[in-house]
Amino acid sequence: MVESDVFVQALENLGVNFFTGVPDSLLGGIIEELLTRKLYTSAVREDEAVAMAAGAFMAGKIPAVLMQNSGLGTSLNTLLSLNMIYRQPCLLLISWRGFEGKDAPEHLVMGETMPQLLDTVKIPHRTLSEQTMVDDLRWAAQTFMKQRIPVALLIKKGVIKGLHP
Amino acid sequence: MQSRAQAMAALLELLADQPVIICNGFPSREAQKLADRPTHFYMIGSMGNAAAIGLGVALSKPSKKVIVFDGDGNVLMGMGTLATVGALRPKNFIHVVFDNEVYGSTGNQPTISNVVQLEKVAKAAGYVAVERVLDREDLVYEFKDMLKNDGPAMLLVKVNEFVEDAGRIALEPPAITARFMKAIE
């Protein structure tokens, strides 16, 4: 399992300097580390977070948005009718609730269909793992710079240490 | 009561190189017709997100006053952002709401801003200054005041339903992004 501070440092090393989002338990460790480093701006909805990140990008920042995959549904219109068409990239760090059907009922449909959903709306994505983290982050940065659209890293339970490992 | 375009023209006269985020629908088209400046970010989609985009700019560029031109339907859709702005209190954030009480771009269906006073919601959420104005004189006076003082501020201006004959946004969206980024660098 990757330590949260190691992951956050890796993101900072990539140049990410604007973090916003809406919490999930799987992302709790990352957000705690971001708060300690005074790098996190809390949003109240995921579409708001995505739009704030778009504004930050246009003002010269490299933004990341953290969210549970339920928030992907909430923010879809913003991602498609703002970021995608205006070429405003951001790094989406999305927790994969409902993975393999092992979660509460409200997470199951999104948990099963999220990769296909991202494919359908043409948001590039990879599933983060401890073994491939360096390469995953490099891929995300390259895709961000080249395509200038949102790029998603999917974070399953047990990959990055949360608040309650 | 003045039209939104008349109110917008009065405000644009007072602005120079400040970033202005303009919500989707006719407000962006009217702003483009009145004064097309590189510092304008014209939204064509993502309804409800104008204030959030402006907030992202304001937090990242604390030395610049950031103006958002919003509508009542837009604010109602993204009302949570009033809370985020109120909590973060960016001093350089001015939120102008042109309130015509209708969804003007889809055929004037009523919103609920005839009942819900949006500037009072903003005040309760933590905006430092809020004003509701009707005529041009008050509009200009209050906006000048907000440009001088620390925010976040909301200026709600009641406007009629009149819509200018204004064409679609001429630039492609990626060109709007690139032009805006360069202009506010």
Q: Express each pLDDT in A34-48 by its tens digit.
A: 999 999 999 999 999
Q: Does the domain made of A4-155 have the CATH classification 3.40.50.970?
A: yes
Token pair, residue A131, equals 């073994």
ipTM of the complex: 0.97
The answer to whether the peptide bond before residue A23 is cis (omega within 30 degrees of 0) is no
Q: According to CATH, what is the number of the domain B4-183?
A: 3.40.50.970
In chain A, what are the domain boundaries? 4-155
What pLDDT does B165 receive? 94
User: In this complex, which of B52, B83, B88 lies closest to A55 when CB atoms are compared?
Assistant: B52
Residue A59 to residues A10, B97, B126, Cα–Cα distance (Å): 23, 23, 24
Residue of A nearest to B184 (CA): A59
Main-chain phi, psi angles of B63, to 5 degrees:
-85, -10
Interface test with B, best of A58, A88, A149 (most B CBs within 10 A): A58
pLDDT at A165 over 60: no
Closest Cα in chain B, distance from residue A5 (Å): 24
pLDDT at B67 over 60: yes
- CA B55 from chain centre, in angstroms, equals 12
Q: What is the mean pLDDT of chain B?
A: 97
Contact A54 B173 (CB under 8 A): no
Interface test with B, best of A82, A83, A90 (most B CBs within 10 A): A82
Token pair, residue B43, equals 């939204």
Question: What percent of chain B stands above pLDDT 90?
Answer: 99
Rounded Cα distance, B43 and B45, in Å: 6
